[in-house]
Amino acid sequence: MRRVFSNPFVALAAGLCLRLFFVLKYPANSGDTVLYEQIATNWLKRHVYAMDVGGVVTPVDLRMPGYPAFLAIVYTLTGRTGADARIWVMLGQIAVDLLACVLIARLAELLACAGRGVETNKRVRIVALWLAALCPFTANYTAVPLTEVFAVFWTALACCGLVVALRRVEQPDFLRKGSHLPIGKSVEYTALGAGWIVGMGTLFRPETPLLLIAAAIVFGGMFFFLHNFKRWVMVCLAMALGCAMALSPWALRNLVTLGEPQFLAPKDSNLPGELVPYGFMAWEKTWLFRVRDCYLVPWRLNGETIYVDDIPARAFDTPEEKLRVAAILEQYNDDLTLTAEEDAAFGQLARERTARHPLRTYVWIPAARAVTIWFTPRIELVPIAGHVFPLAQMREDDPVDQEVTSLFFVLNLFYVGLGILGCVRLWRSNAAVRPAVAFLAVFIVLRTAFLTTLETPEPRYVLVCFPALIALGAQIFAGRSEAASSKISLVLS
C-alpha cells in the first residue's frame, strides 16, 4: 500500500478521475465562454481576431489571444466549434491541469531542496502532487471553458523558473573574469527564461506580470545586501525582455490592426465605441465585496433590469441616497442602457460616499473583498447555494446543500491554513530558502491587493495562488519519515 501511494502515477490517476467527475457531472459555461468561442471561431474561419459587433466582424483586443488560440487548435483537431466542441476543450484542459499538478510538485521539491545540498526530495514531491491532484478548487475549473486552468499552469511553471533564478543569485556573474559558470546556469539567463514564461502566461491572463514585480522586489533585497545594484538592474531587464519577447507578436498585431501597440488587454475590456461606466464602477467600490451581489447589480448592467431593493443596505448611507439611486435606476430601466448622464450621477454618489467615509472605500471594503475571495466555499461551478451561515437555518432549509457547502468551506480553510503553516515552517527551518519563500508570499499579497481593486471580486481569480499555497503546504511533511509520508498520502487519497 505504501508503494501505491508513493507512486506519482496513482496520484495523477486519482486527479484524472476527479476532473472527469466534474467534466461529466457538472460541465459549465459563463459569459466569457461565449466571448472566447466567438473570437476563436472568427480567428479560425475568417482569419481575423474579431467579434461580431452589430452584425459586423470587428477586430478587438479586449481579451488576450492565448485561450482563443487553444480553442482554435481544439476546433481544428476535432472539426467542431463552439458548444459542440466544449467536451473536447474540457478534456484538453484536464491534461493541462494534470501537468500543472506535476509542476506544483516540482516547485515544492525546489523549495525543500534549497540550500540542503540535494536535488530531490521525493517525500515533499509526492505529498504536493497528491495535494494538487485532489484539490477540488482547481480541478472543477477544467469543466468550464475559461482561462483558469492555463493561468494555474503558467503560474506554476513561472514560479519554478523564478525560484531557480533566486537560488542562483549567490553564483558569480558568468561574465566575470575567471568565472567558469555556463551561461545557462547564470541568474540573468534564468531570469530571461522565467520572464518569457511569464509572458506566455500573460497571453492568457493579463495580470500575470505581477509575478515579475514580486520577483523584482525580492531580487532587489538580495542584491542590496550584496551591494550589487547594477546586477539587480540587469536581472530585472532580463525578466522584462523575456516577457516582452513573448508579448511582442500580440502588440505588433494590435499596432497594425488597431493602430496602437497594446501589450495587454484593456483594463475595462470594452468594445470599440462602448461606454466605460467609470462612475458606476466607482460607486460599486464603495460597498460591493461579495460576488453574490455581482449577479444582482453589475452583471445585469446594459442588459437586464436592476432593482433598487436587490441592492444591499450598506450601499446607502441615508434614505435620501437610496431614493437618488432609485431615480437613476428608474431612468436606466426604461431602455436597459446606462447613459453618460446616469453614469455621471453614480460617479457623483461615489465621490460623496468616499468623502464621508474614505477608510470604507480605501481600506474596509478592499479588506472585506480580500477575506471574501480567500475564505469562500468556492462552489461557483456546482449547483450548490453556497451559504454556510447561519448553520442551523441552512441545515433546516437544505441539509445536503449545507453539508456540501460546509465541506468545501473546510477544504478551502485546509489548503489556505496548510500553505500558511508551511510558509512559517520553511522560513524558520531553512535560511537559504527564505528568498524563495518571500517571493511566493509577496506574489500572493500583490495578487490579493490587485484583486481588491477589481469591480467584481470573483473568488476564481485567486486560484493562481494555489500552486504557491500547495507547494508551501507540502513543506509541513518535509521532515517526516517515509512511513509517516505514506500515511499522509493515504489520508489525502
Listing DSSP states for 272-333 in one string gives TTPPP-HHHHHHHTTT---HHHHHHTGGGTTTS---GGGS-GGG-SSHHHHHHHHHHHHHHH
CA distance 285 to 287: 6
pLDDT of residue 393: 61
CA 133, 136, 142 angle in degrees (round to 5)?
85
Nearest of 141, 192, 132, 187 to residue 164 by alpha carbon: 187
Q: Cα–Cα distance between 76 and 56 in angstroms, integer?
A: 24
φ, ψ at 331 (rounded to 5°):
-65, -45
Q: What is the pLDDT of residue 388?
A: 63
Name residue 133's amino acid: A
Q: How confident is the model at residue 100, as a pLDDT?
A: 97
The answer to whether residues 19 and 30 touch, using CB atoms and an 8 Å cutoff, is: no
> 196: which residues sit within 8 A by CB, 6+ positions away?
242, 243, 245, 246
pLDDT at 487: 45
Enter the DSSP assignment of 365.
Answer: H
pLDDT at residue number 131:
96
Mean pLDDT of the chain: 87
* Weakly modelled stretches of the chain, pLDDT under 70: 1-2, 114-120, 171-185, 268-274, 385-398, 479-493
Query: Other C-beta atoms within 10 Å of 172: how many?
Result: 13
283-315 confidence digits (pLDDT tens): 999 999 988 888 888 888 888 899 999 999 999
CA angle (148 as vertex; 205, 161 as ends), nearest 5: 65
Angstrom CA distances, 141 to 89, 276, 318, 370, stand at 12, 29, 41, 21
Is the C-alpha dihedral spanning 29, 34, 40, 44 positive or negative? positive
pLDDT reported for residue 116: 53
Which residues are CB-neighbours of 192 under 8 A, at least 6 positions away? 238, 239, 241, 242
Angle (nearest 5°) at CA 82 between 76 and 88: 60
Give the per-residue pLDDT at 178: 44
| Domain limits, the chain | 2-264+404-492
The answer to pTM > 0.95 is no
